[in-house]
A and B are shown apart, each in its own frame.
Chain A
Amino acid sequence: MKDKFKVVGINERKIDGRTLVTGSPVFAGDLDLPGMLHVALLTSPVAHARITRLDTSAAEALDGVACVLTHRNTPEMRYTTAGQGHPEPSPYDTRMFDTKVRFIGDRVAAVAADSPAIALRALGLIDAEYEDLGPVLSIDAALAPGAPVIHDEPDALDIWDAEHNIASVVSAIAGDVTAGFDESDVVVETTTETQYAQHAPLEPHVVVSSINPEGRITLVSSTQVPFHVRRIVARLLDVPIHRIRVIKPRLGGGFGVKQEVLIEDVAALMTLRTGRPVRFEFTRSQEFISSRTRHPMRVRVKLGARSDGIVHAIDMEAISNTGAYGAHALTVMSNTGSKTLPLYNKAPHVRFDGKAVYTTMPVAGAYRGYGGTQGCYPLEMAMDEIAERLHIDPVELRSRNHIRAGQTSPIFEELGEGRKGTPQIITSCELDACLQVGAERFDWVRKRAEPRGDGSIRHGVGMSVHMQGSGIPLVDMAAATVAMNDDGSFNLLVGATDLGTGSDTILAQIAAEVLGVPLTRIVVVSSDTDLTPFDTGAYASSTTYVSGWAVQRAAEEVRDRIVAVAATMLETEPEQLVLADSRVSTSDGRSVDLAAIGHRSYYGPDPAQIAATASFVPESSAPPFMAAFTEVAVDVETGRIEVLDFVAAVDCGTAVNPRLAEGQVEGAIANGIGYALTEQMEFTRLGRVKNPDLARYKIPGTMDLPPIRVFLVESYEPTGPMGAKSVAEIGINGPLPAIANAVYHAVGIRLTHPPFTSEKVWRALRAAGVGA
């Protein structure tokens, strides 16, 4: 099947590569409009307080200040910043500017001025006083009897239990876990607690808003969700949707944090009030504190297995800290179960309980992996423990248990995105091949049997397996338009949002494949709400699978139109014709090239634009799969962990562009290694972030990473476009459990509180009496 492809499956160059390496001004922050105002944001210095006094008169009087926004002059309606489809599954618990602040970093006021310096000076002239309501700085503090109520406002919507600081709950059950554990020969239990971590895209959030004489607002924004931005800003500002245009230009990395609508509302309102262009860019410090983070989570996993290693019962309980607002609270928590539990579908008894808790801390949101990252960690550690207890090799244990093509899991139906899910049968799963290829390339058997190391350095190897998804079934929708030009080339218009992932390129590859032309004949226009058809946006690993199908369908319709025109020109029947190599040909050697057909479609006879728009709504979410292997060296004297090697074998169906697919996994693994070893937002006793910069919040640099070796296994997903599945998220899930399991192999301790800093590991080693 795949052998027939001419453009798909090829390592085509990224179509924006030349633009990016020449440093062209193509990012939102590169826009400089005449008369543009610059925004500075005043944020709360206290974790939980009512604003008792807010005097902005001196700031407003400062020369060069054009606009000051506070709770007094902004819309009062509640909304969610989570840029999700409609109806939104996150609670409406946020106001543009509230009378109450809920974390250090929460919005208090915003100033727009002629220059950034004036805006900053104006912030210093704002006089604010606060009545402290008492910080709530942990899951336990939030759930304690008598804890301060963080969302006491009467107008919030869809909070599960505001009085007890519970944003959302979800549960799912199949079988009877109590009986399941009774019937098990071995039962293990693990509780992990993951940390506050930030996406840290190199480009902070930035938007430039402007208004034209007709009153239409344009937002050029670093967003993953242009259409959701348009809908949410329109509602907030009471402006008709059609008066707002959102353009996503090139974007400097997102990883989920740019699925949130955090700046566009402020810039748009200031433009409406002043008539002037407005630029609002987060500082790096605001990017850490006032944007979004990964949900810290406490996850308990209890796993029962029969003596042959077959998992019989799984009980997973997750409590997430959603911070001050419930952005993605329900859905991230749901995915903690739904993106992990189906992997071990032999277990008839499965239960998932999730709860998302408010605290007065920075707000969590969507982050690559989306709950699956937090859930697979204790699950894969528990699997490692089962393997040890039953003396089964960890690879063999996974092989005996993992889901396979043709199989299902009750969890697919029981647990969706904060609601019931969608029944689903796995239509491709090459996890066996992933385990085999990964183990071979890594040299698992030898390294597992004979770990190296001498003196204080102990080596160990560990592994884990993973699944994710490809979009959200029956929720996501993507559309694409293909229109033929008079030289036989095509414009491809997609609402899909390229974050730097290369999605513009791979979608063009799919179109080129269908239309029988080289990639250079496809002109891509993407992510502009005025020009491109709807797409829910770049999240949930949706683009390749969901947007890819929309492109394939639109291209197929156009292909059929082309063939029909060619049939007229060649005086034959369409069924007799084949479109390939930029020509439509008959079997007896007559042909007409696409340029002639394109020219005819414009200038006749019978001119008519050859174009089609197609939509796609997925009925399933074909999971990509991955087997991860790593070797670590632990210094038992210092507690330092060095990752020496990382191998990931991945099944993403057809890799539309293998090099770009590898890049997705490599980058995700690097991010995951940082999450496992160094990345953590640290807080003072009062809830202030201590390390809101890239020096003290340590993301991996070149010197911190091992060789990351990614192998894409041969696979074909029958429900995917050209056999493809999505691959953006899965890689990030591997490092935490694989490294934790490798550390156990090296020194016999189970690390349950990432990041695994030297100090934490040293203490754990001392407590266990290792190496002392």
Chain B
Amino acid sequence: MNLRFTVDGVPTTVVIAAGESLMDVLRRIGKTSVKNGCDRGDCGSCAVLVDGRAVNACLVFAGQVDGTAVGTAEGLAHDGELHPLQSAAVEGGAVQCGFCTPGMLMLAVDLLSRNPEPDEAEVRSALSGSFCRCTGYVKPIEAILAAAGTLLERRS
């Protein structure tokens, strides 16, 4: 069947097989930021936005996202300028191996869209579906709080 959706703002049509996951389709069309860490919804490395809400792409059938807007970490930067969440992650040492980072960024984008001024507990809660084995989450959480501040400043 044909899947029609937008990926990072670009209208896209892909032929998909029955039962194919959104993760597999996104990786097949070159969105390799969508990482496969477990293929069963446990790790969060494949998190993407579907109409602005974070989901684990490995748990979504590609057919389910027909007509939606899908966002990945590859669509966060604009004209070479990093999204404040990305800048804060680099500045704050929040990236070690970087394998979980794209998924974690999408969870953070989702959080900040709903709650622009989260406290640490809210950030922890929002990231609870994303495993990281490198950082102990200390610096990723700090980075998200810092990015939230930057975004608020920009708006005011």
- Chain A residues in the interface with B (C-beta under 8 A): 11, 13-14, 16-25, 27, 29-30, 199-204, 250-253, 255, 283-284, 499-502, 659-660, 662-663, 666-671, 693-695, 699-703, 705, 707-708, 710
- Contact for B131 among A23, A27, A202, CB less than 8 A: A202
Number of interface residues of B (CB under 8 A): 52
Give which listed residue, B96, B105, B133, B135, contacts A699 with CB less than 8 A: B133
**Does A21 contact B101, Cβ atoms closer than 8 Å?**
yes
Taking a contact as CB atoms under 8 Å apart, the answer to whether B99 and A22 are in contact is: no
Choose one: A11, A25, A702; the contact of B137 (CB below 8 Å): A702
Which of A18, A283, A659, A669 is B82 in contact with, Cβ under 8 Å? A18
> How many angstroms from the CA of A21 to the CA of B102 in the assembled complex?
6
Give the contacts of B29-87 with A (CB-CB under 8 A): 30-40, 42-43, 45, 72-74, 76-77, 82, 86
Residues of B near A29 (CB, < 8 A) are 35-36
Is B98 a contact partner of A500 (Cβ separation < 8 A)? yes
A11: chain B residues at CB < 8 Å are: 93
| Residues on the B chain within 8 Å of A251, using CB | 97
B15 within 8 A of partner (CB): no
CB-CB < 8 A to A284: which residues of B? 37-40, 42-43
Which of A20, A501, A668, A710: most chain B CB closer than 10 A? A20
The 9 closest A-B pairs by CB, nearest first: A23-B33, A500-B97, A20-B98, A252-B99, A670-B136, A17-B90, A694-B42, A666-B136, A659-B93
Q: Which residues of A contact B89 (CB under 8 A)?
A: 17, 21
Q: State whether A702 and B91 are in contact (beta carbons under 8 Å apart), knowing that A20-B98, A663-B96, A671-B133 are contacts in the complex.
A: no
A250 CA to B96 CA, complexed, in Å: 10
Q: Which residues of A contact B97 (CB under 8 A)?
A: 20, 201-203, 250-253, 499-500
CA A697 to CA B123, docked complex, whole Å = 24
Q: Which residues of the partner chain A approach B131 to less than 8 Å between Cβ atoms?
A: 200, 202, 694, 699, 701
Chain B residues whose C-beta falls within 8 Å of the C-beta of A710 in the assembled complex: 138
B146 CB to nearest chain A CB (Å): 13
* Most chain B CB within a 10 A radius of its CB, from A14, A283, A668, A699: A14
B93, B96, B97, B135 — which one has the most chain A CB atoms within 10 A of its CB? B97
How far is B90's CA from A19's CA once the two chains are assembled, in angstroms? 10
Complex Cα spacing A501 to B134, Å: 8
User: A693 — which chain B residues lie within 8 A by C-beta?
Assistant: 38, 40, 42
B108-147 contacts to A (CB < 8 Å): 123-125, 127-139, 141
B22 at interface, CB cutoff 8 A: no
Main secondary structure of the interface of A (DSSP, over half): loop
Choose from A283, A501, A695, A705 the contact partner of B96 (Cβ within 8 Å).
A501
A695 to B129 alpha-carbon distance, docked (Å): 11
A residues near B134, Cβ cutoff 8 Å: 253, 500, 663, 667
Q: Is the CB of B93 within 8 A of A202?
A: no
- Which of A16, A23, A253, A670 interacts with B32 by CB under 8 Å? A23
Selected A-B contacts with CB under 8 Å, 9 pairs: A21-B73, A21-B95, A250-B97, A284-B40, A500-B99, A663-B96, A667-B96, A694-B38, A701-B127
A13-B90, A202-B131, A708-B138 known; A283-B39 Cβ under 8 A: yes
Q: Do the beta carbons of B95 and A667 come within 8 Å of each other?
A: no
Q: How far is the CB of A23 from chain B (nearest CB, A)?
A: 2
Q: Tell me if B's interface is mostly helix, strand, loop or mixed.
A: loop
CA A144 – CA B82 in complex, angstroms? 62
| Pairwise interchain contact A694-B102, C-beta atoms closer than 8 A | no
Apart from A20-B101, A22-B86, A251-B97, list 20 A-B contacts with CB within 8 A: A18-B86, A21-B73, A21-B101, A22-B77, A29-B36, A202-B43, A202-B97, A252-B98, A253-B133, A284-B37, A659-B139, A663-B134, A663-B135, A666-B136, A693-B38, A694-B42, A695-B42, A701-B127, A702-B130, A707-B138
**Does the CB pair A702–B128 fall under 8 Å?**
yes
Closest chain-B Cβ to A730's Cβ sits at a distance in Å of 14
A663–B140 Cα gap in the complex (Å)?
10
Measured CB to CB, the residues of B under 8 A from A are: 30-40, 42-43, 45, 72-74, 76-77, 82, 86, 89-93, 95-102, 105, 123-125, 127-139, 141
Instruction: Determine the distance from Cα of A22 to Cα of B39 in the docked complex, in whole angstroms.
Output: 22
A247 to B132 CA separation, bound complex (whole angstroms): 24
**A502's contact among B33, B96, B102, B124, by CB below 8 Å, is which?**
B96
A649 → B minimal CB distance (Å): 15
- Which residue of the partner chain B has the closest CB to A500? B97
**Residues on B with beta carbons closer than 8 Å to the beta carbon of A669:** 136
A522 to B5, CA, bound (A): 42
Name B139's contact: one of A202, A203, A663 (CB within 8 Å): A663
Q: Is the CB of B136 within 8 A of A20?
A: no
Task: Please determine whether A23 and B100 come into contact, CB atoms closer than 8 angstroms.
Answer: no
Residues in A with CB closer than 8 Å to B127 are: 701-702
Say which residue of A21, A23, A250, A667 sits within 8 Å of B133 (CB atoms). Answer: A667
Known: A21-B86, A29-B36. A202 touches B132 (CB 8 A): yes
Given the known inter-chain contacts A693-B40, A699-B131, please indicate yes or no for A250 contacting B138, CB distance below 8 A. no
Name the residue in B38, B42, B102, B139 with the highest tally of chain A Cβ atoms < 10 Å from its Cβ.
Answer: B38
A194 to chain B: closest CB distance in Å? Answer: 19
Q: How far is the CB of A254 from chain B (nearest CB, A)?
A: 8
Complex alpha-carbon distance, A252 and B45, angstroms: 11
Contact status B82-A705, CB under 8 Å: no
A693 CA / B131 CA spacing, docked (Å): 12
Min Cβ gap B10→A in Å is 15
Contacts of B102 in A (CB 8 A): 21, 23
Cβ of A227 to closest chain B Cβ, rounded Å: 21
Report how far A659 CA is from B135 CA in the complex, Å.
11
- CB-CB < 8 A to B30: which residues of A? 25
Chain B minimum-CB-distance residue to A663: B93
Q: Which residues of A contact B76 (CB under 8 A)?
A: 21-22
A24 to B98, CA, bound (A): 10
Q: Please indicate the chain A residues that have their CB under 8 angstroms from the CB of B40 in the complex.
A: 284, 693, 695
Contact indicator A255/B133 (Cβ below 8 Å) = yes
- Picked from A253, A667, A671, the residue with its CB within 8 Å of the CB of B99 is A253
In the complex, how many angstroms separate the beta carbon of B107 from the nearest chain A beta carbon?
10
Which B residues are in CB contact (< 8 Å) with A283? 39
Q: In the complex, A702 Cα to B121 Cα: how many Å? A: 9
Contacts of A203 in B (CB 8 A): 35, 37, 97, 99
* Pair A202/B136 contact, Cβ less than 8 Å: no
Q: Which residues of B contact A18 (CB under 8 A)?
A: 82, 86, 90
Contact pick for B128, options A250, A501, A668, A701, CB 8 Å: A701
Q: Which residues of A contact B91 (CB under 8 A)?
A: 13
CA distance A561 to B70 in the complex (A): 54
A699: B residues at CB distance < 8 A? 131, 133
What is the CB-to-nearest-CB distance from B90 to chain A, in angstroms, rounded to a whole number?
A: 4
Which A residue's beta carbon lies closest to that of B97? A500
Q: How far is the CB of A308 from chain B (nearest CB, A)?
A: 38
Residues of A within 8 A of B38 (CB): 284, 693-694
Contacts of A30 in B (CB 8 A): 32
Which residue of A is nearest B138, CB measured? A666
Q: Find the A residue at minimum CB distance from B75.
A: A23
Give the contacting residue for A667; candidates B31, B36, B129, B135; CB below 8 A: B135
B136 touches A250 (CB 8 A): no
Q: In whole angstroms, what is the CA distance A708 to B140 when docked?
A: 13
A671 to chain B: which residues have CB within 8 Å?
133, 136
A25 to B34, CA, bound (A): 10
CA distance A615 to B82 in the complex (A): 38
Which of chain A's residues have a CB closer than 8 A to the CB of B37? 202-204, 284, 694
Instruction: Report the separation of the CA atoms of residues A13 and B133 in the bound assembly, to the nearest whole angstrom.
Output: 20
**Distance in Å: Cβ of B134 to nearest Cβ of chain A:** 5
Pairwise interchain contact A202-B90, C-beta atoms closer than 8 A: no
Closest-CB distance, A645 to chain B (whole angstroms): 13
Residue of A nearest to B17 (CB): A117
